[in-house]
Structure 1
């Protein structure tokens, strides 16, 4: 499809040293005014001149990805670095398509790659895609053909490339091809989405149940621990066991499970589907967390009250809600809301941004044969990102919990957020804002591990 590109780059197998020269040659062709810079108009015109018709927004996407100093133009160093990184991503995607690892991709492997994403296409459509890239007419693609076709196409992942194929070859695979992280188009149209949703919900419920004692210990220490009583992890568990027995360790877990929700702003905020920048990840995580917490916050208040309740104080969730409403009014269900929302911004934002940045860093540095990082890498990314989020937001979480609980504690002074922070700093110092963080950290790895194991087993049992 791109004979000029192929002639310029890939008629021979080039070594790494030759690539720098070919990058220079291509840059010189694009830099029409010879000022050592390529702007968006030059890139558009240059690509058209060598026979490449990029998709809508593709040229701007190349500029945005490669322009490290944000001056809206590319110098040769930025251009060459972008092409080098882009080639590595294309290589991983090519290897993913090459199912039998023979260095060639045929139409059956393209058809299978669609099927792996839950999308069914006909043999004719798969051949149509192949022919759009196959420059030598062999009905198979080698790495050079693949690289020539996609080098100046910003699509890299299989999802992005399939989206490009859908629009460029007019494949009939649904009204619109949106392949989010969770649900493919096929899953939406065939009803598989509910199985995915069920798998995630069960995984979250089991994970929260498994780590509920640590979660209750965290809340207990946030509210009751101080310099004067010096409640430790072991001492706190002993107190809870003495007061209510073993089952008391799971107080508040029922409503905790109900709060297991996760709205997905990530795909809505991405400037390009399947491509999201770090600042967009931060916004997406923050907005998702804030929206979820606003909707479920009354349950969070009840969770805190039920978690801290003494034996016989409430008979259940509805009794708790009734008593709070009668004694304190509707406003009580939003006590601690301000520090809660303020805490969601650093936690959800940093958690999501760090997780995806770590995953993408691993892929760019260490991925050789596949674009799938694997279980251990994902668990590591999840653990580190969650820890970073907690460190940033924990003081606000502690203030929120104390404000939620203070009306139910005998003799407790009803303090606003600012005064409460001041009082904690005066009496307990800075580290008083981190009471209970140890059990909070202790539950991260088991929570992530339990979630993953249950999720994969649920998917398998539901036939996904």
Structure 2
């Protein structure tokens, strides 16, 4: 019992948290870079970019969309918005994995407390913690990835820089006429930083099933195949971590995907309705009107292509990084 208490005390230490966070941040960057082209295509599909709707709905469509992006902008086109992704993903992944270790140690202080509900709760709280701190960077990334050749700005710039995207978001709806100024526009004018939180509520709600299910599956499968016996367990091989991470990603993506589609629509809503905050109800109705129930799963196939390897890589690299850093 004393060894277990000591182990948990170490997990709650500042040194452990920092090392776990660094490992998680690097894991997130490596995993995101591996799937960056797929991520851009998926965002274009989810947000109903008019240039790419003709490709949506099929596996070959995702490939043809990727080719169209490459022909128009080369490798830079496939990686458009990735600079914002890396700026966001390191703190996001670092906080998420670090918070998971801390929440798990708090909710599951010993094996007697280890239940699937507590595993799910620890994962959900970790995801919500990371999103709260890094959401503005996510919004900027989505805006950068959404722009395409035909939806470029009037000055002809087709690849908005990170700073330019931030300025555009900050200035959205800043000068509406007094006759058409809405209550939300007045709030945006008084608290302009809120413009960087478009789609935040649906993101937080969607993060509960996504992160909760991902960490629940990860923790459950590791405990099932590598059980702790007499305070010791066999360390999973890297391939095992990859496989468990892949399964975790597939299940969590399926559960949370409709929330992600609604979130993307709300995030790019400032481009079409800059004077106000798009609400849940009207966004859900718009998605349903354009594609029925299938509209909530547009891009899911490419989502699997992205999420499964990304989650597998991130979990495996996180564990490998923690091992290298001595935690």
What TM-score, normalized to structure 1? 0.54
Aligned length: 285
Shift of 1:194: 5.2
Shift of 1:200: 3.3
Using the alignment, how far apart are the partners of 1:215 and 1:428 within structure 2? Answer: 21
- What runs of 5+ residues in structure 1 fail to find an aligned partner? 1-154, 156-160, 167-175
| C-alpha distance 326-436 of structure 1, shift in aligned 2 (>3 A) | same
Using the alignment, how far apart are the partners of 1:334 and 1:456 within structure 2? Answer: 32
| 1:59-458 alignment, distance < 5 Å | 155=1, 162-163=3-4, 178-180=9-11, 188=15, 197-224=21-48, 229-231=54-56, 232-260=61-89, 261=92, 262=96, 263-264=99-100, 265-273=102-110, 275-310=113-148, 312-313=157-158, 315-328=160-173, 329=188, 330=192, 331-364=194-227, 371-408=234-271, 415-448=278-311, 450-451=313-314
Shift of 1:457: 7.4
Shift of 1:372: 2.3
Q: Could you say what secondary structure the match of 2:172 adopts?
A: helix
Q: Could you say what secondary structure the match of 1:439 adopts?
A: helix
Shift of 1:381: 1.8
Shift of 1:459: 6.9
Task: Tell whether the 8 Å contact from 2:120 to 2:213 is kept in structure 1 after alignment.
Answer: yes
| Larger CA deviation: 235-244 vs 333-342 | 235-244
Q: Could you say what secondary structure the match of 1:179 adopts?
A: helix
Q: Could you say what secondary structure the match of 1:386 adopts?
A: helix
Using the alignment, how far apart are the partners of 1:212 and 1:436 within structure 2? Answer: 15
Using the alignment, how far apart are the partners of 2:53 and 2:25 within structure 1? Answer: 41
Shift of 1:326: 1.5
Using the alignment, how far apart are the partners of 1:335 and 1:197 within structure 2? Answer: 27
Shift of 1:238: 2.6
Task: Tell whether the 8 Å contact from 1:220 to 1:236 is kept in structure 2 after alignment.
Answer: no
What TM-score, normalized to structure 2? 0.74
- What runs of 5+ residues in structure 2 fail to find an aligned partner? 150-156, 174-187
Using the alignment, how far apart are the partners of 1:310 and 1:399 within structure 2? Answer: 20
Q: Could you say what secondary structure the match of 2:226 adopts?
A: helix
Shift of 1:347: 0.7
Using the alignment, how far apart are the partners of 2:267 and 2:288 within structure 1? Answer: 19
Of the two structures, which has the highest relative contact order with CA contacts closer than 8 Å and spacing of 6 or more?
A: 2
Kindly provide the CA deviation profile for residues 71-114 of structure 1, in whole angstroms up to 9, marking residues without a partner as x: xxxxxxxxxxxxxxxxxxxxxxxxxxxxxxxxxxxxxxxxxxxx
| C-alpha distance 211-371 of structure 1, shift in aligned 2 (>3 A) | same
| C-alpha distance 389-458 of structure 1, shift in aligned 2 (>3 A) | closer
Shift of 1:450: 4.2
Task: Tell whether the 8 Å contact from 2:249 to 2:308 is kept in structure 1 after alignment.
Answer: no
Kindly provide the CA deviation profile for residues 243-302 of structure 1, in whole angstroms up to 9, marking residues without a partner as x: 322211111112212222212343354252465321111111111111211221111111
| C-alpha distance 219-281 of structure 1, shift in aligned 2 (>3 A) | same
Using the alignment, how far apart are the partners of 2:277 and 2:261 within structure 1? Answer: 15
